[in-house]
Structure 1
Amino acid sequence: MSRQTPNDDQVTALARAAAAAPSMHNAQPWRFRYHRHSRTFEIHADFGRGLPHSDPDTRALHLGCGAALLNLRVAAAHEGWNPQTRLLPDPADGALLARTRLTDATEAADGPAESDDSGGLAALHPAIHRRHGSRFPFEERLVPEPVREALVAAARAEGALLMFPASWHLRQVLDLVQEAEARNRTDPGTRTELDQWTRLGTPAEGAAGDGVPEYAFGPRKRGGSAPVRDFESSRTVAGRDATDFERTPQLALLSTGRDRAEDWLRAGQAMERVLLLATLHGVASSFVTQPLEWQDLRWPLRDPLSGTGYTQMILRLGYGPEGPASPRRPVTDVLDIRP
């Protein structure tokens, strides 16, 4: 006998876990639809929450939705379900990014959906609501090789490659970040989107449940090489401190062999799987997206040895504050439960 269908409170909890995923500028560009009769979640892109200047092809939007999908799979596995996932199930509907059916051991897979290593996923569940981006200085302490190897394996499990640039390659990546930051400082479109998705001042009751709040900006960078975006942009935040960041940042490049919507969704899942595992290991993280927002700077980030692959995300990893939680939209705004 198959398991009982989840009740609406349980469905809501799964959607809340999915919505804890990161997204560019915390835009949260997703909507979830749950069908009771088939125990199936759908993840839909909310293109109205995209960033048309910084992300014109919606690559970053797909990464965020992929991260939400990974969280959903982790939460479902934690509850004892075997989530069967199909990416881009309807070629006629570009907003329908994935379907995930909650099955158990007594049920056969419905078509060519992908089965999960539910045990490995379930172990990541405690990190879902602990994972926060940190725009604070990290210690000058290396992430141990066994932890790096585990993070590489986590990305590989989702069909992506994670590599840690060093020496001249790291310097090249940092140079590309610096070039992108210089462009962004004088680019009107970038400033407009930062103004749209940042929230200055102390959050008030009923404040927006999205975007990057002032308390998550972190300090200004006074020294160091850490590639941390300054969300203050051209505005002034009174009382914001300046401090030194790490001199030798630890970066990781996440890439895929191709560069299609399906690859972006896989990369988003790999990114979140890496971040959840890093959180469990006590490793803090932040995103470095600046050169990915310029096509001519993104291309040189590819594997320098093979000259292949498409870099989908740059992660900054290290030991330091986990960072504060960013706001989230009410689940009722992003979840639709149907018969």
Structure 2
Amino acid sequence: MSTTEHDAAVVAALVEDAVTAPSMHNSQPWKFVFSTDTGVLAVYGDPVRTMPVGDPDNRGVHLGCGAALFNLRVAAAHHGWTARPTLLPHPSDGWHLADVVLRNTESPESDLSALYPAVRQRHSSRFPFSDERVPQEIIDELSAAAVLEGCLLTVPGAWHTDTVMELVHDAELFESADASMREEIAAWTRTGRAGEGPSTEGIPSSAFGPRQFGISAPTRDFDTSHSVRDRGEAVFEKHPQIALLGTAKDGPVHWLKAGQALERVLLQATSDGLATSLMSQPLEWPELRSFARDPNSAAGFVHMLLRLGYGPSGAATPRRPVDEVLSIR
């Protein structure tokens, strides 16, 4: 096998791991282009996989691609390579999000390779969590993981947690009153309806989790039309344990950093035996997002709300095959 063929095979394996990252409604808004001449893997956002209603600024696209970029770095370290990203290498091209220089090395980054087992284990869990509190030492470890990527992870106090959960429930009301938002979400769910999109993308009914019994759940219900039969109901935790991931500034480069920090935190949480889910609902409404930030935190802009705890792991969601997202030139 030639060096070029070997590099291409390794890159395909790296991308296969990269795309296990979370993305808004599992839209998988990424494209990869590898140059065999330079050893550079370019990461692009995919303009046909955007959410014009829920993500008009494409912040979610950047978060998802940033998360995939972090998985790529972890997978590279696992395979004995280094992956050195340059964010937004060509500012005139807003869809060219990163260039990653790949090099074989005798000293892979051990802190990244240690996270590799969690890459395939991490899934969003839309199940109830127990009332067991996450130990402070684990919270500190997750906060440190975010700092390594230039972001802040904060755990709000009781009053601010209540405020954030009220924002989640307000967002549910906003969503129920907005036909365009409901249609956009429905376009990325897979319940067996006629005319749905490919089964390799979107949120399948197997990942919906149970319906909330009683009050609103801390997880998004992707089946508001109740079209999935025999789904079951469950009582969710009364006081969810949440964390806010944010940055001091708000722009494309900060979104990409936040995406990498998000995935680093999620992989570390998975390694620590935690179940996790993401709550982006109030962040999709400009009139609600600003109220999500903790006024005592240096993170002026919140990019994701995380729910942490102990409970069942979520179901895996599908991914497109590598040959659909990777081009080798």
TM-score range with shorter-chain normalisation? over 0.9
Tell me, yes or no, if structure 1 residue 331 matches structure 2 residue 319.
no
Q: SS of 2:121's equivalent?
A: coil
Partner of 1:133: 124
**Deviations 1:272-309 (CA, angstroms, capped at 9, x unpaired):** 00000111111011110110000010001122225751
Q: SS of 1:147's equivalent?
A: helix
**Deviations 1:180-214 (CA, angstroms, capped at 9, x unpaired):** 11111121111101110000039xxx952000000
CA contact (8 A) 1:251 1:314 kept: yes
Tell me, yes or no, if structure 1 residue 221 matches structure 2 residue 212.
yes
How far apart in 1 are the matches of 2:105 and 2:18? 23
Tell me, yes or no, if structure 1 residue 171 matches structure 2 residue 162.
yes
Tell me, yes or no, if structure 1 residue 92 matches structure 2 residue 83.
no
1:287 equivalent among 274, 278, 283? 278
How far apart in 1 are the matches of 2:322 and 2:104? 26
Tell me, yes or no, if structure 1 residue 161 matches structure 2 residue 152.
yes
In the TM superposition, residue 81 of structure 1 has moved relative to its aligned partner by 1.4
CA contact (8 A) 1:226 1:248 kept: no
Instruction: Call closer, same or farther: CA 1:135–1:76 in 2, change over 3 Å.
Output: same
Paired residues, what number?
Answer: 325
How far apart in 1 are the matches of 2:64 and 2:83? 19
CA contact (8 A) 1:23 1:63 kept: yes
Q: TM (normalized to structure 1)?
A: 0.91
Instruction: Call closer, same or farther: CA 1:4–1:199 in 2, change over 3 Å.
Output: closer
Q: Which amino acid aligns with 1:286?
A: S
CA-atom RMSD in angstroms: 2.0
Q: SS of 1:279's equivalent?
A: helix
Partner of 2:74: 74
Partner of 1:256: 247
When structure 1 is superposed on structure 2, of 233-242 and 186-195 the one drifting more is 233-242
Give the gaps of 5 or more residues in structure 2.
none
Q: Which amino acid aligns with 1:34?
A: F
Partner of 1:311: 302
How far apart in 1 are the matches of 2:34 and 2:287? 40
How far apart in 1 are the matches of 2:149 and 2:297? 21
> Percent same amino acid among aligned pairs?
49
Instruction: Call closer, same or farther: CA 1:181–1:307 in 2, change over 3 Å.
Output: farther
How far apart in 2 are the matches of 1:195 and 1:273? 29
Partner of 2:35: 35
CA contact (8 A) 1:212 1:326 kept: yes
Give the gaps of 5 or more residues in structure 1.
107-115
Tell me, yes or no, if structure 1 residue 122 matches structure 2 residue 105.
no
CA contact (8 A) 2:156 2:294 kept: no
Partner of 1:180: 171
CA contact (8 A) 2:80 2:105 kept: no
CA contact (8 A) 2:169 2:216 kept: no
In the TM superposition, residue 9 of structure 1 has moved relative to its aligned partner by 2.2
Q: SS of 1:129's equivalent?
A: helix
2:135 equivalent among 144, 162, 170? 144
How far apart in 1 are the matches of 2:236 and 2:25? 21
**Deviations 1:224-269 (CA, angstroms, capped at 9, x unpaired):** 6641100002342111101100111000100001000000000000
Instruction: Describe how 1:169-208 pairs up with structure 2 within 5 A.
Output: 169-201=160-192, 208=199
Partner of 1:58: 58
How far apart in 2 are the matches of 1:186 and 1:285? 28
Instruction: Call closer, same or farther: CA 1:190–1:235 in 2, change over 3 Å.
Output: farther
Partner of 2:13: 13
How far apart in 2 are the matches of 1:4 and 1:23? 31
Q: TM (normalized to structure 2)?
A: 0.94
CA contact (8 A) 2:152 2:299 kept: no
Instruction: Call closer, same or farther: CA 1:163–1:226 in 2, change over 3 Å.
Output: farther
Tell me, yes or no, if structure 1 residue 239 matches structure 2 residue 230.
yes
When structure 1 is superposed on structure 2, of 218-227 and 152-161 the one drifting more is 218-227
Q: Which amino acid aligns with 1:240?
A: R
When structure 1 is superposed on structure 2, of 219-228 and 11-20 the one drifting more is 219-228
Instruction: Call closer, same or farther: CA 1:4–1:237 in 2, change over 3 Å.
Output: closer
